[in-house]
């Protein structure tokens, strides 16, 4: 028989509902592998779905103590710690919190939050697991990588060129007035756009080179490349990346990031940057005592009292995310390097630079599930935002997963998959969870001096005390 007329044995019925349609969902809203990967395009795992209410208090503290404080105040906080007080484990939402914080800062470059006082961008840095980042220079490398990966250099070039163009050409305002920011940044990083509009890139570059913040920079700084050449230069962010990675000496790289780049960012009108270092423990976990001390000393030098521009103006503000064991791990190095005196990691009293990251509660678990569900809810349905989950079910899920955000999402995912496969299940309630408990149990079997112990129970005495039986 011809393949043209043969039919498959399993034919899709025309009225078949999508798998999750019976719950008025376009897809399963929960991630299969609930760990943040900001490069992923799936919004379930890239940190885009984020419920700001959950860690509102932590965010408010960062806002009040860091974002709202003027960057030009010499006493502003240059280093802070986000300490996971109630939970050492992975999956408590710290990475998602940081990525969201970065997005909030970058949205209006912090101008809105600081009421116009600061123009700052944010960088998210996460040392890789496995202990490759042991020294301060290798940490600086990942820091620069994060700058290169973000569009901040491209944006700065666009800002500098825009200001110079406006100054030199009266018709510039008219040409750009209807262009949105994103397109404008791209245009200002394209040589052809300048040619098309009759703007001389050499004249614009010369105007930029005259910026007061750029006068102390060495001639080899990427922005000056081609300054004395015959060809007209057009600098892009890749010139910066190439320059950095072709600089062999680590000391020069550190100087580039903490002095020259700071001047460059200042020239572009920024007065600060927030460096959000996730999973900081991945650095000291693998360091020797000497490496820890060197790391702390170099960090201190770059942030506070070295000969770098950053140490002078306090441009970069670091927020290190620490799990509960880390303060102890680096306490000695911090104290030997003098960091403990400046920004104590184990402060005796509550301090502005220490932000405690709290564990979730039942209320938070409900908010979390509602947020994910709302992203995949089919339109036009006037439903309980938690449907098909009941509140009791969320409490049960929370307790079973010890209120760990990642575990809650994973369990919600598995329950929804189970419920979608069964025609009878209309609601996910505690009894449905109880029926499916087996799928969550792990493999572990239920197997077969300070002289402070002053008060110890005396069994002989206790045995003689009568107590009414309940």
Partner 1 sequence: MQDEQLEQQSTAAAPIQSVKKFYFLDYIYILLYSVCKYSKGRDILVSFLKMKRAYRLGESKYKKLTADTEDITDGRIRRYIYTFRQVFAEVSDYGLIKSPDDWDTVYLTETGEELLLQYKQKGAKSFNQSLFKFMEDKYGAFRYLITKLDSANRNLPGLLFLPSYSPRQLDFDRQNMKTTSDFVTYSSQLINRLEDDIQEHLGTTKDLKTENKRLLKQLIRTGLLSSHRRDRFDPDKYNVITKRFRDFWMNYFLREIYDYGYSMPSFDIWTYRGKQIGIIHATEFHPYFCGKIVYPLSIIINSVESQDFDQLYQYSDGNKLFVHRPNWSDNQEKFVEAIVEAYYDLRRTYSSYFINLAALREIVCLKMKISDKTFEDFMSRTYRLNLAGKLRIRISLEVDKLPEETSAIYLKREPIMVDKKYRNIIAIDATKGRRL
**Among 95, 81, 112, 83, which residue's Cα sits nearest to residue 49?**
95
Q: Which residues contact 184 (CB under 8 A, 6 or more apart)?
A: 158, 162, 176
As measured in angstroms, the least distance from the Cβ of 364 to partner 1 is 12
**Among 100, 61, 64, 68, which residue's Cα sits nearest to residue 83?**
61
CB nearer to partner 1: give 25 or 415: 415
CB nearer to partner 1: give 212 or 441: 441
**Strands in 272-353 per DSSP E:** 272-277, 316-322
* Near partner 1 in 291-350, by CB under 8 A: 324-329, 331, 346
What does the per-residue mask of binding to partner 1 show for 354-383, with x meaning CB under 8 A?
Answer: -----x-xx---------------------
**Among 443, 410, 415, which residue's Cα sits nearest to residue 429?**
415
As measured in angstroms, the least distance from the Cβ of 430 to partner 1 is 12
CB nearer to partner 1: give 137 or 327: 327
**Among 132, 137, 136, which residue's Cα sits nearest to residue 249?**
137
* Near partner 1 in 163-192, by CB under 8 A: none
Binding-site size, partner 1 (CB under 8 A): 48
Q: Cα-Cα-Cα-Cα dihedral of 103, 108, 110, 111, to 10°?
A: -170
Stretch that binds partner 1, among 83-91, 192-200, 222-230, 261-269 (CB under 8 A): 83-91
CB nearer to partner 1: give 90 or 166: 90
241's enclosing H/E stretch is helix 237-245
Residue 119, Cα to own-chain centre: how many angstroms? Answer: 19
* Near partner 1 in 396-435, by CB under 8 A: 398-399, 402-403
Stretch that binds partner 1, among 80-88, 226-234, 239-247, 291-299 (CB under 8 A): 80-88
290 scored as a contact of partner 1 (CB under 8 A)? no
Stretch that binds partner 1, among 141-149, 190-198, 297-305, 449-457 (CB under 8 A): 449-457
Separation CA 138–CA 130 (nearest Å): 14
- Long-range contact pairs involving 412-417 (C-beta distance under 8 Å, separation at least 24): 412/30, 412/369, 412/372, 413/28, 413/30, 413/31, 413/32, 413/34, 414/439, 414/440, 415/389, 416/20, 416/23, 416/28, 416/29, 416/30, 416/388, 417/28
CB nearer to partner 1: give 328 or 435: 328
CB nearer to partner 1: give 246 or 350: 350
Of 6, 13, 228, 470, the one binding partner 1 by CB under 8 A: 470
Of 52, 70, 89, 352, the one binding partner 1 by CB under 8 A: 89
As measured in angstroms, the least distance from the Cβ of 232 to partner 1 is 56
Whole-angstrom CA distances from 109 to 46, 198, 399, 419 are 21, 31, 39, 44
Q: Rule CB under 8 A: which residues touch partner 1?
A: 85-89, 285, 324-329, 331, 346, 359, 361-362, 395, 398-399, 402-403, 441-442, 444, 446-453, 455-467, 469-470
């Amino acid at each position: 028989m011809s393949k043209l007329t043969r039919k498959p044995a399993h034919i899709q019925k025309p009225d078949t509902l999508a798998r999750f349609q019976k719950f008025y969902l376009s897809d399963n809203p929960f991630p299969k592998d609930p760990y943040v990967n900001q490069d992923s395009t799936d919004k379930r795992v890239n940190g885009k779905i984020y419920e700001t209410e959950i860690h509102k208090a932590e965010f408010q503290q960062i806002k009040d103590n860091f974002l709202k404080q003027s960057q030009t105040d010499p006493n502003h906080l240059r280093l802070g710690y986000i300490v996971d007080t109630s939970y050492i484990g992975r999956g408590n939402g710290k990475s998602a919190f940081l990525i969201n914080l970065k997005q909030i800062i970058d949205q209006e470059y912090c101008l809105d939050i600081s009421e116009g006082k600061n123009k700052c961008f944010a960088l998210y840095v996460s040392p890789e697991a496995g202990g490759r980042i042991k020294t301060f220079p290798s940490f600086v490398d990942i820091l620069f990588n994060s700058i290169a990966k973000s569009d901040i250099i491209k944006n700065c070039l666009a800002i500098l060129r825009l200001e110079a163009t406006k100054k030199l050409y009266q018709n510039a305002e008219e040409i750009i007035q209807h262009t949105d920011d994103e397109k404008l940044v791209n245009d200002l990083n394209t040589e052809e756009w300048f040619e098309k509009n009759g703007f001389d890139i050499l004249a614009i570059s010369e105007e930029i080179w005259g910026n007061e913040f750029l006068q102390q920079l060495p001639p080899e700084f990427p922005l000056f490349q081609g300054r004395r050449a015959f060809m007209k230069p057009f600098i892009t962010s890749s010139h910066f990346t190439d320059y950095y990675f072709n600089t062999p000496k680590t000391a020069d790289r550190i100087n580039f990031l903490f002095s020259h780049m700071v001047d460059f960012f200042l020239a572009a009108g920024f007065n600060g940057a927030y460096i959000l270092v996730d999973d900081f423990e991945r650095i000291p976990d693998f360091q020797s005592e000497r490496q820890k001390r060197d790391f702390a000393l170099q960090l201190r030098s770059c942030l506070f009292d070295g000969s770098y521009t950053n140490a002078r103006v306090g441009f970069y503000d670091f927020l290190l995310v620490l799990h509960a064991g880390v303060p102890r791990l680096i306490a000695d190095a911090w104290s030997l390097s003098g960091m403990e005196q400046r920004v104590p990691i184990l402060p005796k009293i509550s301090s502005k630079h220490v932000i405690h990251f709290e564990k979730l509660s039942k209320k938070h678990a409900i908010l979390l599930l509602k947020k994910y569900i709302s992203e995949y809810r089919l339109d036009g349905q006037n439903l309980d935002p938690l449907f098909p989950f009941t509140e009791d079910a969320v409490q049960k899920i929370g307790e079973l997963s010890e209120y760990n955000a990642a575990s809650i999402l994973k369990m919600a995912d598995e329950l929804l998959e189970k419920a979608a496969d069964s025609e009878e299940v209309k609601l996910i309630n505690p009894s449905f969870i109880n029926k499916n408990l087996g799928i969550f149990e792990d493999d572990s079997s239920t197997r077969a001096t300070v002289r402070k112990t002053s008060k110890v129970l005396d069994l002989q005495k206790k045995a003689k005390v009568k107590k009414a039986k309940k």
